[in-house]
Amino acid sequence: MPDKSTQLVVIGGGPGGYAAAFLAADLGMAVTLIDPAVNPGGVCLYRGCIPSKALLHVAKLIHEANEARAWGIDFGSPKIDAAQLSAWKDKVVGQLTGGLGQLVKQRKVNHIQGTATFKDNRTLNVTDSLGAADTLSFEKAIVAVGSSAMSIPGFDKGSDHIWFSKEALELSQIPKRLLVIGGGYIGLELGTVYAALGSEVTVAEMMPTLLPGVDKELVRHLKKQLSDNFKEILLETMATDPKVQKNGVKVTLKDKNGDATTRLFDKVLVAVGRRPNTDAIGLENTGVKVDNNGFIEVDDRRQTAEPGIYAIGDVAGEPMLAHKASHEARIAVEVIAGQNVVYEPAAIPAVVFTDPEIAWAGLTEAEAKSQGIEHTVTRFPWAASGRAITLGRSQGVTKLVIETATERVLGVGIAGPGAGEMIAEAVMAIEMAATATDLSLAIHPHPTLSETMKEAAEVLHGTATHIYRPLRNK
Ligand SMILES: Cc1cc2nc3c(=O)[nH]c(=O)nc-3n(C[C@H](O)[C@H](O)[C@H](O)COP(=O)(O)OP(=O)(O)OC[C@H]3O[C@@H](n4cnc5c(N)ncnc54)[C@H](O)[C@@H]3O)c2cc1C
């Protein structure tokens, strides 16, 4: 017999799990949250979004200081104290996770520091941080156990010279030569950090493009800048046969023609994707089903195949992003509370926090095309934005994908500094079914980069103020 019970148990304390636990407590449920860390936060706060963005902020500062030379301001070469920088990043993480710990107490969530596995469809085996084992029965459960970094054959965890994102974020040292395997957003963001701190960064990506699947035009903007910041970007290149030695790792880089070179790097960062943590949580003792990619199968209410057990966040499917996890948390908890809600986002924004940032929401041009939607693409180049020029950053673009018949905004892509902040307006527009005219009638503050959204909308009717692009049929 279980010796303890709870109305709702949330397994995993990341942005999915803690958001779920907090909302459930706010709605009056008795909640137990189980996570191995002393405070909630999960991958995102401890070893993902937050530490990476703290370090990317520093990278941005260094770039801006470099750019200022052209305007007559020379700050000299930066002196980097990696230990102090790492301590500052840890302080940021501590402040945020500590704050979440306070919110756990204020909301009277029962936080068990430990791990849980399913014993059956209404009981968990729980092991706390001291190794004590117990069971916990529940009425409802939300599984929010997240994901882990994937590896590739030969590049095993445990070597000092082979890093995954967690080790790279520890900033134990700044390697002279860093090989980043994988041109996805995590590899490019961490490559940006280390390049700014002084590493020679080589990126090896096996696909023909960086950020596979992302709008090619946005990626082109980014690649142009990254080609200046990184030592080299090797596309259609496989990294194989790592040989760890005292002074680093020898890696074979094989291009699309099969030509191979062996090179020595001080560190290798493996950033080839993440996989859901569904292997070892006892799902086989329940009716929960897992798909071929290891994700828990959920319906539009985030309920699994086992009634009463829900799944959210990275473990419940793509996109593996923190804001998607916390949105799903809200849906799952409201469903449990008896509300009539579904998970049906029209747009989930995605941001790559490189320099320039790129961000998108809704349909990309390629998706609109492949779905057979009649659409028009409008663009406003940042070279015509007063604000972009005051920042010395006129390389960006704001592009809209607009449904031709209704003039509804279906998708937005932005490349340029601040794209990650700007994309929120696009999400709002897409969710509210705004038309291009709605965007152009909304007064945007001047001079800001947000005006590029309004002007990109005005391009549809050939009336954007700061570029001359009359309609062809006029
Ligand atoms: C380097 C990096 C940068 C990133 N940057 C961004 C970004 O800028 N923006 C963004 O949106 N996303 C970013 N992500 C992705 C983001 O971190 C994830 O999408 C997000 O953390 C998923 O949240 P989650 O709640 O599903 O799970 P997680 O945050 O992974 O949390 C799961 C928690 O469950 C715990 N757990 C696992 N098994 C058990 C168990 N059996 N019992 C109890 N607890 C368990 C884990 O220890 C963990 O604390 C980044 C990821 C990485 C690695």
Q: Residue whose CA is closest, atom 15 of ligand 1?
A: 321
The Cα–Cα gap between 133 and 127 comes to 4
Matching residue, tokens 């940042």 = 382
- Where in the sequence numbering do the catalytic residues fall? 446
Question: How far is 216 from 119, CA to CA, in rounded Å?
Answer: 47
Sequence-ordered list of residues with C-beta below 8 angstroms from that of 158, at least 6 positions apart, any chain: none
Q: What confidence score (pLDDT) does residue 10 get?
A: 98
SS3 at position 380: strand
Quote the crossing angle between the two packed helices 82-106 and 17-26, to the nearest 10°: 30
Task: Quote the ligand 1 centre to 78 CA distance (angstroms).
Answer: 33
CB 226 within 8 A of CB 233: yes
pLDDT bracket for residue 1 (50, 70, 90): very low
> Which pLDDT does position 2 carry in this prediction?
45
Ligand 1 atom closest to Cα of 320? 19
The answer to whether 281 and 296 have CB atoms below 8 angstroms apart is: no
Residue bearing tokens 């809200």? 330
Give distance in angstroms: CA of 237 to centre of ligand 1. 29
User: Cβ(115) to ligand 1 under 6 A?
Assistant: yes
Q: What is the pLDDT of residues 252-273, one digit of tens each?
A: 999 999 999 999 999 999 999 9
Is the pTM for the entire model greater than 0.75? yes
Q: DSSP 3-state assignment of 134? A: strand
CB of 420 within 6 A of ligand 1: the answer is no
Q: How far is CA 121 from the centre of its chain?
A: 32
97 Cα to the center of ligand 1, angstroms: 13
Quote the DSSP letter at residue 155. Answer: B
Ligand 1, atom 42: nearest CA belongs to which residue?
115
Determine whether the shortest distance from the Cβ of 20 to ligand 1 is under 6 A: no
pLDDT in tens, 173-218: 999 999 999 999 999 999 999 999 999 999 999 999 999 999 999 9
Q: Which of 33, 55, 145, 354 to mutate to test the pocket of ligand 1 (most atoms within 8 A of CB)?
A: 145
